[in-house]
């Protein structure tokens, strides 16, 4: 089980977008994450008429290292760390480290 997964709201703690929040779009090899609207760069693309691709400058979301984001705790309105615990059925769950509350409700 991963600490962060698609759909989690995260807080960027390091880098040029420090302090911004966004939703995880994709987790790449458990090392990097794509966060919606964060770490957007300008990419120059060459036209390819055979594939029907126009050339120009496009905005592209680049991945962030998973260590540079923290999950957002909506109850406390601040970023938090992720831990693991067990629910009443003995199933492994993700919890907020500060409060011990379950993340996936």
Q: What is the pLDDT of residues 32-74, one digit of tens each?
A: 999 999 999 999 999 999 999 899 999 999 999 999 999 999 9
Q: What is the pLDDT of residue 2?
A: 87
As given in the structure block, the two tokens for residue 19 are 């302090």
Q: What is the pLDDT of residue 105?
A: 63
Q: What is the pLDDT of residue 42?
A: 97
Domain parsing of the chain, residue ranges: 9-96
Q: State how far the Cα of 24 lies from the Cα of 5, in Å rounded to an integer.
A: 7
Is 3.30.428.10 the CATH classification of the domain at 9-96? no
């Amino acid at each position: 089980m991963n600490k962060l997964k698609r759909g989690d709201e995260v807080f960027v703690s390091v880098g040029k977008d420090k302090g911004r929040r966004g939703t995880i779009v994709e987790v790449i090899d458990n090392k990097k994450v794509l966060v919606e609207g964060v770490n957007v760069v300008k990419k120059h693309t060459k036209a390819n008429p055979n594939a029907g691709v126009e050339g120009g400058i496009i905005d592209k979301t680049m991945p962030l290292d998973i260590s540079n984001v923290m999950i957002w705790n909506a109850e406390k309105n601040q970023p938090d760390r992720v831990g693991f615990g067990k629910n009443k059925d003995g199933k492994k769950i993700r919890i907020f480290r500060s409060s011990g509350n379950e993340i996936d409700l």
